[in-house]
Structure 1
Amino acid sequence: MNSTPATSPDTDWMRDSFINVQEQLRLSLMQAQLSIAHPGTQGDVTEGHWIDVLRAYLPKRYEVASGLVIDSTGGRSHQIDVVIFDKHFTPTLLDQQNHRYIPAEAVYAVFEAKPDIDKSYLTYAGEKAASVRRLIRTSVAIAHAGGTYPPKPLFPIVAGILAPKASWSDGLGKSFRDNLPSAADEQLDCGCALDAGAFDVFDGSLNIVSSRGSLMYFLFRLLAKLQSLGSVPAIDWGAYASIVANVGGGANPSTLSSAPGP
C-alpha cells in the first residue's frame, strides 16, 4: 500500500505578509523624514507610527502611548516616546489632551523611537530607561475569597530602542555591541532597526537577527517577554492618597492604608 508523503507546512505566505508589514512601516517612517521639516513634529509622527504598530499586535490588556512615568513620592521620568503599560487595573493620571502621566506600577516596557541607532541614541535611550527604573513602585496584597495573595514581587521594566535603520556600516555588528549601555539601570533589553535587524537579551545573552522580517521577530519576542511578566503589581493607592491627605486639613497620612485589591 502506498503511503501519502507528508506535506511540509506552508509558511511562505505568512512570512511574506509579515515582511510586508515591516515594509509598510519603513515607508511610513521614510515619508515622515522626507516630508516633515520640523524636528519636533517629525518626532511625534515617528512615535505615532511605532505606537500604532505596537497597538495593532499587543493584546488589549496593554496600552501603548507616549508620556511621563511618575511615582507616589512625586518622582518623574524623562519624557518617554513609547510606554507599554497596564490598561486593566491602573488608570493614567492628570491627562491633558495626549499628554499622559503613567504610574510606575503600571509600566511593562519603555522605548525610544529615533531616526537611527547610533552611539548617541543608545546612550540617550539608556538614560531614559534609567529615569523610569529609578522610580519607586509600590505593591500591596490582593484580596481573594480565601484570604489575600501576598504583594507581587516587582519585575524589571523592559527598555529598548526603535528606529528605521542603524548608522554603522555593519548594522547591528561590533560597533553596535560595543556601544550598548553597560550600567544595569540603563540596559537596553531589546530593539529593532528595520533596515539592520532586531536584538534582545531575553535569554540572558545578546541575540541579533538580520533585517529581513526583523519587525515581526521583534514583536513576537516582545510578546513572549510581556507574557512571562504576568500582571503588574497591585498599586498602593494609599501612597498616592497621602500626597493630598493634608491639603485643607485632611487626614493624617499615617492613618491611610490601601485596601487590598488591584
Structure 2
Amino acid sequence: MGTPSDIEKLIDGWRPKQASAVMQRAFAERCRWVEVALRTRAEAEIAMRATNFSSGPAIEAIFRDELAKILPRRYQVTCGTLSDSNGATASDCDAVIFNDTWFPAIKQRATYDDRQHVMPVEGAYAVLEVKQTLSIATLEEALGKLVTCHRLQRPLTAVNQLVENRKFEPRLNRVGNPLFSAVVAARRDPKTPLTDLVDRFVAINERLGRMEMVHCLCVLGEACYFWGWVPTGSTQAEIATFFGPEDLILPLMLIEATPNHDESPLGALVSRLYGHVTNSVLAGANEIPYSYGIGQSLQPYRQGTLLIPSVPTPPQF
C-alpha cells in the first residue's frame, strides 16, 4: 500500500503544469489567426472578382462564420433587418448579434441563406457593418447604416434587469442594454490614409447623440479604435461601454489597438464585443407579440356580461 510519505509524495506531484507562453495568450492567438484567414480570404475574393471568376462567399458571410465560432453559442450571429415597434427599419445589416432564445423573428427567412429576415431591435446585442475595402465613401455608408440602427425605437432598460423578462428593485443609474455597433473592414483602400478614415470617424461621431454613436472602427491588419474616458482625478483611461453613467456624459477619447503594440485589431474588437454582450441583459421579450401587432385590437366579448363569478378566497402561494 505504500507508506504515508510515499502517498504524500505521489499526491504532491499532482499539480497543474505551467502552460507555455503561447497557451497563456491562446485566445489572443486564436483571434490573430482568424484575422489572418479573413484577410487572406478577402484578398482571394477580390482577385476572383478582378478576373471575372466566381467570387465565392462574400466577405461579410465569411466574417459572420468566423465570429460565430469565437463567440459563445448563446449569441446568434446572423444577418438581416432590424425593425422597431413603430414599423421603422434600418434595412439590411451585414452582421447582427441576436438573442434568438428569448426573441422571435418578426419575419422568418424563407430559406437558410435568405437575407430577408426581420428581427425586433429589442433582441439585438450588436450590429456590425462589414466592408471588403474601406474608403471614405464606404465608411460613411457603414456609419449611416449603424446610426440608423441606433435611432430605431429601442426601449432602454436599467441594470436591475435580471433576465430578459424579469427585473428586481431598486433601479440603478445605468443602462442595461445599449446597442453595440462597429465598422469592420478586411482592408483599407490604398489611396486613403488611415488617418483620414479615423478623422472622418471622429468628426461624424462627435456630432451624434451619445446613444447614437458608433462604438468601434476596425481595419483588419492595421488597427482597431474604440472609445474611452478618463475618470475625474485619474490619468488612466477606461473603456467607454455606454452602460453609463460616466461614459454617457463625460468627454470621450479614442483608444487604439495595433499590431505594433502586440494587439490584433480583430482580437481587440472581439474583446470589446465579448465584454458588451456578456454584460448586457435585453428587455421586452415578453412584450414582443403585443409590440409588433398581436392583441392591440382585442375587445371584451359581450361587454358587461360577467361569465365567471369572483372567488372569495384566492389560492395561497
Q: Shorter-normalised TM-score: what interval?
A: 0.7 to 0.9
Q: 1:179 aligns with which of 167, 175, 200?
A: 200
- How far, CA to CA, are the matches of 2:142 and 2:64 in structure 1? 17
Q: Deviations over 1:59-89 (max 9, x none)?
A: 1221111111011121111211111111321
Q: How many residues align?
A: 238
Superposition deviation, residue 122 in structure 1: 2.0
**What TM-score, normalized by structure 1, do the two folds share?**
0.76
Q: Distance in 1 between matches of 2:99 and 2:88?
A: 19
Tell me the equivalent position of 1:218. Answer: 269
Alignment RMSD (CA, Å): 3.5
**TM-score, scaled to structure 2:** 0.64
1:143-187 per-residue CA deviation (whole Å, 9 max, x = no partner) reads: 99xx96479956321111111122367864x32221012232553
- Greater Rg over alpha carbons, structure: 2
Larger displacement relative to structure 2 (158-167 or 180-189): 180-189
Contact residue 180 and residue 273 of structure 2 kept, 8 A: no
Alignment of 1:1-262 (within 5 A): 10-12=20-22, 14=26, 16-36=29-49, 45-96=58-109, 97=111, 98=114, 99-138=116-155, 149=168, 153=175, 155-167=177-189, 172=194, 174-180=195-201, 181-182=204-205, 183-184=207-208, 187-201=213-227, 203-204=239-240, 205-211=253-259, 213-228=264-279, 230-235=280-285, 236-237=287-288, 239-240=290-291, 243-245=293-295, 251-252=298-299
C-alpha distance after superposition, 1:168-221 (max 9, x if no partner): 67864x322210122325532113211212121151431112246222232122
What residue is the counterpart of 2:248 in the other structure? none
CA distance in 1, matches of 2:81, 2:192: 34
Where does structure 2 lack aligned partners over 5 or more consecutive residues?
A: 1-16, 229-238, 241-252, 301-317
1:258 is matched with which residue?
Answer: none
Q: Which runs of 5+ in 1 are unaligned?
A: 1-6, 254-262
Note closer, same or farther for the CA distance 1:72–1:107 as it changes in structure 2 (3 Å cut). Answer: same
Q: CA deviation at 1:128?
A: 0.5
Task: Read off the aligned partner of 2:277 and give its amino acid letter.
Answer: L
Name the SS of the counterpart of 2:108 in structure 1: strand
1:130: Cα distance to partner?
Answer: 1.9
Q: Distance in 1 between matches of 2:186 and 2:152?
A: 30
Secondary structure at 1:95 match in 2: coil
Q: 115-124 or 70-79, which moves further after superposition?
A: 115-124
2:161 touches 2:283 (CA, 8 Å); kept in 1? no
Cα deviation for residue 239 of structure 1 reads: 3.4
**Kept in 2: contact 1:116–1:193 (CA 8 A):** no
For the residue of structure 2 that corresponds to 1:184, the secondary structure is coil
**Residue by residue, what CA displacement relative to the aligned partner does 1:2-61 show, whole Å, maximum 9, x if unpaired?**
xxxxx996333635554322211211111122224699x969621111101110111122
The 3-state SS of whatever aligns with 2:273 is: helix
Counterpart CA distance in 1 for 2:63 and 2:197 is 22
When residues 156 and 138 of structure 1 are mapped into structure 2, their CA distance, relative to the original with a 3 A threshold, is closer
What is the identity percentage for the equivalent residue pairs of Structure 1 and Structure 2?
Answer: 20
